[in-house]
Structure 1
Amino acid sequence: MAVPSVRVITPDWPDPSRVFALHLFGKEVPLLLIAFMTFVLIFSRGTMALAVHAGYEGARARCARFLVLTILGGLTFLGCQAYEWTKLITEGVRPWSNPWGAPQFGAFFFTLTGFHGLHGLSGVIYLAAITRRVLRGVYAQRGSYEGVEIAGLYWHFVDLVWVFIFTSFSLF
């Protein structure tokens, strides 16, 4: 709620269409990268749900495949986030300044996306550990894939938080 509130009272808040635009084939395409990142996370949310479902069906190999797809989605998202940070830093955005207007933008952007990225990276590492346990048959021996479900809940939380971050920076 802080970002939309500050955005409303700050007259020189930068235009998200300009800040988050990609330059492709000589044209500026607004919000393309951030929309792609959102799609990747939504897709990975689906693969995570399928992994949980496969686990509870006892389909170990299918569960592991969906977990790997979820991990790849997470890594793709993190790679895009690293590109976005690099692009904005190159363009002069800092936590204390912003070439397009309000200096608060940089502070909010880097803090929120940085913490989200850290949680996303933690989730990818956790999912890799869970995938290893699935492949080793740990959950099959226990007769419960609860560990996969717990990892799924964490991943869904990371995805949900992104929706709020995306909305705060891109749509208001």
Structure 2
Amino acid sequence: MSHPTATAAAGGDQLEFLVRGEHHAPNGTLLGFWLYLMSDCLIFAALFATYGVLSQSFAGGPTGAELFDLPLIMLNTSFLLLSSITYGFSLLQMQQGKLRGTLIWLAITGLLGTAFLSVELYEFYHLIHQGAGPQRSAFLTAFFALVGTHGLHVTIGVIWLVTLLLQLSKHGLTLSNRRRVFCLSMFWHFLDVIWIGVFTFVYLMGSMS
């Protein structure tokens, strides 16, 4: 039999969510998003494992050491890592209740993400133009699958960021928008961690093979 005080407290919590326009507990979205990120980890783990198995299957074609432009990749890595820092600045501005500062730092983050994607598309175009497309060897198939999947995630992140900028401009720093900014932050930092693995495992080790 439930205690009357506990029942009243639960009812009070539900009333508070309704008054604030919330239809679920604030931590519910964050927990769900963490579960999504864990499922994404499994996808990238499978892609890393596939690349590890096929990374030496060149089929008489070019190797990573012959194809990878390491200075260009290091520049691209700096774009993504800097975008993680600028996103952190946007979170600080949001915590201080400064909408304009939040928008500015999010916009800078989006520009750095777009720069990263531009360099990656240039790299893909250059490789395909050299005849080193995904169909050339198992190594290149695994390379394009892994790096391309990460690039697709960054593209989704940039689209999400632009949508979030519009929502913030229209509605301000509401509770829902704050939660969305935080969820995108987790997603963006997750992509940074994955890219560090790609840069180390694919580009650095590939350049030494």
**Interval of TM-score (by shorter of Structure 1 and Structure 2):** 0.7 to 0.9
Aligned to 2:28: none
2:181 is equivalent to residue 133 of structure 1: no
Aligned to 1:59: 98
Output the CA distance in 2 between the equivalents of 1:117 and 1:63. 25
2:37 is equivalent to residue 4 of structure 1: no
- TM-score normalized by structure 2? 0.68
Output the CA distance in 1 between the equivalents of 2:132 and 2:59. 18
Aligned to 2:34: none
1:17 Cα deviation (Å)? Answer: 4.1
2:49 is equivalent to residue 16 of structure 1: no
Bigger Rg over Cα: 2
Identity %: 29
- TM-score normalized by structure 1? 0.81
Output the CA distance in 2 between the equivalents of 1:43 and 1:128. 18
- What SS does the aligned partner of 1:92 have? coil
- What SS does the aligned partner of 1:49 have? helix
- What SS does the aligned partner of 2:55 have? helix
1:9 Cα deviation (Å)? Answer: 8.1
Aligned to 1:166: 199
Amino acid at match of 2:130: E
Output the CA distance in 1 between the equivalents of 2:60 and 2:197. 22
Aligned to 2:88: 49
CA RMSD of superposed structures (Å): 2.2
Deviations 1:115-165 (A, max 9, x none): 1111111000001111112222332x4497222111111111111111111
Gap regions ≥5 residues in structure 2? 1-47
Output the CA distance in 1 between the equivalents of 2:61 and 2:204. 13
* Correspondence for 1:83 among 111, 119, 122: 122
Instruction: Say which is worse superposed, 141-150 or 127-136, in terms of deviation.
Output: 141-150
- What SS does the aligned partner of 1:145 have? helix
Output the CA distance in 2 between the equivalents of 1:170 and 1:7. 11
**Off by >3 Å, runs of 4+ in structure 1:** 4-17, 141-144
1:96 Cα deviation (Å)? Answer: 2.5
- What SS does the aligned partner of 2:158 have? helix
Aligned to 2:76: 37
2:155 is equivalent to residue 121 of structure 1: yes
Aligned to 2:43: none
Instruction: Say which is worse superposed, 69-78 or 110-119, in terms of deviation.
Output: 110-119
Output the CA distance in 2 between the equivalents of 1:93 and 1:10. 11
Structure 1 residues 56 and 143: alpha-carbon distance in aligned structure 2, compared to 1, 3 A threshold: farther
